[in-house]
């Protein structure tokens, strides 16, 4: 059920209002209407706190916040943007913006990104860019990476690999010890998408990966085949656990916990399950997916949630001020903290949770994701292409000799989806 609240200074304030230089320097008035899908308890408290604090800074501004169920919003957003549009809405980055950009429903806010305050969000700019313009701002994201059994690496005398050759060499030592290199559950397909994202972007670069996602590259292209050739090196070694196609990502955790597999390419949301399963931070660690092509800068999967200004917004000045406020360093540190969203701030100058993996992910994405931020296979590719693509990726992991047939089918899908 939808709920509407009026901003007040007392409503779940986050205590960061005085830190926004932009809001201090501007007097905003009128009405600001915000529709948010931050409906789960912790995100809802964050959203209500943001509105309360921003309202306290701008007492002449009447803010109306409507909170919509997160899943329901996916079907409601188009109508909401078309009829009596609000001034600010929540959505997602990269290709997920495309339908609303193409339909003229999101406002081009490239001028906002020219503000010096946005320099601290440089690593996320690509995810907010379509057709050479920026269409929103991020407010939270989380990293993917290779989580590994540090204790087993120490037992085998292994170090974190920086290059693909080192990754392969480590994997061979692990296999020789009677273990698998990686656990994975591909029953629901999307986990294979993560492997493709990393190997393709490390082989061919971020721009190529996004061109493929945008339908500008044929799946039968030799550069795509190079990606699968690199992936097949691991498959032919027997690097992945057996029968992964019958497992969910949660089903694949026990082999990691009991030491039958030594690493898991996964999002940071899995850390809680690893800890709940009994692993200590002395046993568990994380490294950035290794370099494959030395001429390619590293891109990272970091699914990103966003704010946008509808093209039909009435109070554009206040909407832009709110977006600058949300992305400011102090606000980012507060809303992404462990007691709030528990994720990564998008502002490189923000304070970060002292959680070990949040710290490592923030450092990686702020300093070392120079190749760009990917939104994950099923967000970067259109829905039909993503579905067919992930089916093909799972099939390849089980039957790598089927590659030619898989690529031909995916190319047929590409020609249909992007026509």
Q: How many CA atoms within 13 Å lie on the side-chain side of 372?
A: 22
In words, the CATH class of domain 3-141+305-350 is: alpha beta
Are the CB atoms for 323 and 309 separated by under 8 Å? Answer: yes
Any idea where the domains of the chain sit in the sequence? 3-141+305-350, 144-301+376-417
DSSP string, 231-283: HHHHHHHT-BPTTGGG--TTTTHHHHHTTSEEEEEEEGGGHHHHHHTT--TTT
Mean pLDDT rounded to a whole number for the chain? 91
Characterize 340-350 residue by residue with b for buried, 16 or more Cβ atoms within 10 angstroms of its Cβ, and e for exposed: bbbbbbbbbeb
Of 195, 194, 272, 258, whose CA–CA distance to 230 is shortest? 195
**Is the pLDDT reported for residue 13 higher than 70?**
no
Burial of 56 (0-12, 13-18, 19+ CB in 10 A): middle
Of 7, 3, 8, whose CA–CA distance to 67 is shortest? 3
Report how far residue 196's alpha carbon sits from residue 408's, in angstroms, rounded to the nearest whole number: 17
pLDDT for 369 equals 64
pLDDT for 366 equals 79
**Is the pLDDT reported for residue 14 higher than 50?**
no
Q: What is the CATH number of domain 144-301+376-417?
A: 3.40.190.10
If you average pLDDT over residues 48-54, what whole number do you get? 97
351-379 pLDDT, tens per residue? 998 899 999 998 898 776 678 889 999 88
Strands in 82-174 per DSSP E: 88-92, 129-130, 133-134, 137-141, 144-149
pLDDT for 24 equals 45
> Are 3-141+305-350 and 144-301+376-417 in the same CATH fold?
yes
Share of the chain above pLDDT 70, in %: 93
pLDDT for 368 equals 67
Q: Is the pTM of this model over 0.95?
A: no
């Amino acid at each position: 059920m939808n709920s509407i609240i009026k901003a007040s200074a007392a409503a779940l304030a986050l205590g960061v209002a005085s830190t926004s230089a932009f809001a201090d320097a501007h007097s905003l008035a009128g009405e600001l209407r915000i529709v948010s899908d931050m409906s789960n308890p912790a995100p809802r408290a964050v959203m209500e706190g943001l509105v309360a604090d921003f309202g306290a800074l701008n007492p002449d501004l009447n803010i109306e916040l409507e909170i919509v169920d997160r899943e329901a919003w996916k079907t409601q957003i188009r109508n909401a943007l078309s009829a009596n549009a609000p001034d600010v809405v929540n959505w997602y980055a990269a290709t997920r913006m495309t339908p609303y950009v193409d339909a003229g429903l999101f406002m081009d806010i490239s001028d906002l990104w020219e503000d010096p305050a946005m320099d601290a969000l440089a690593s996320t700019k690509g995810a907010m860019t379509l057709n050479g313009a920026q269409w929103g701002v991020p407010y939270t994201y989380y990293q993917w990476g290779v989580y590994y059994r540090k204790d087993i690496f120490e037992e085998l005398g292994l170090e974190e690999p920086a290059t693909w050759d080192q990754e392969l060499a480590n994997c061979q030592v692990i296999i020789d010890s009677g273990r698998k290199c990686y656990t994975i559950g591909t029953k629901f397909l999307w986990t294979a998408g993560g492997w493709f994202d990393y190997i393709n972007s490390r082989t061919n670069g971020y721009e190529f990966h996004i061109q493929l996602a945008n339908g500008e590259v044929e799946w039968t292209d030799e550069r795509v085949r190079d990606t699968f050739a690199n992936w097949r090196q691991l498959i032919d070694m027997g690097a992945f656990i057996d029968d992964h196609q019958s497992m969910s990502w949660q089903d694949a955790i026990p082999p990691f916990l009991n030491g039958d597999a030594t690493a898991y390419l996964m999002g940071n949301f899995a850390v809680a399950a690893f800890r709940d399963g009994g692993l200590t931070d002395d046993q568990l660690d994380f490294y950035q997916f290794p370099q494959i092509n030395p001429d390619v800068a590293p891109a990272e999967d970091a699914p990103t949630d966003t704010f946008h200004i509808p093209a039909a917004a009435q109070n554009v000045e206040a909407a832009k001020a709110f977006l600058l406020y949300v992305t400011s360093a102090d606000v980012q540190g507060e809303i992404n903290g462990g007691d709030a969203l528990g994720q990564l701030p998008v502002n490189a100058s923000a304070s970060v949770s002292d959680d070990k993996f949040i710290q490592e992910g923030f450092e990686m994405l702020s300093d070392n994701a120079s190749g760009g931020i990917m939104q994950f296979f099923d967000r970067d590719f259109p829905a039909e292409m993503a579905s067919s693509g992930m089916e093909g990726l799972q099939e390849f992991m089980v039957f790598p000799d089927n590659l030619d047939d898989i690529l031909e089918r995916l190319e047929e899908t590409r020609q249909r989806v992007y026509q």
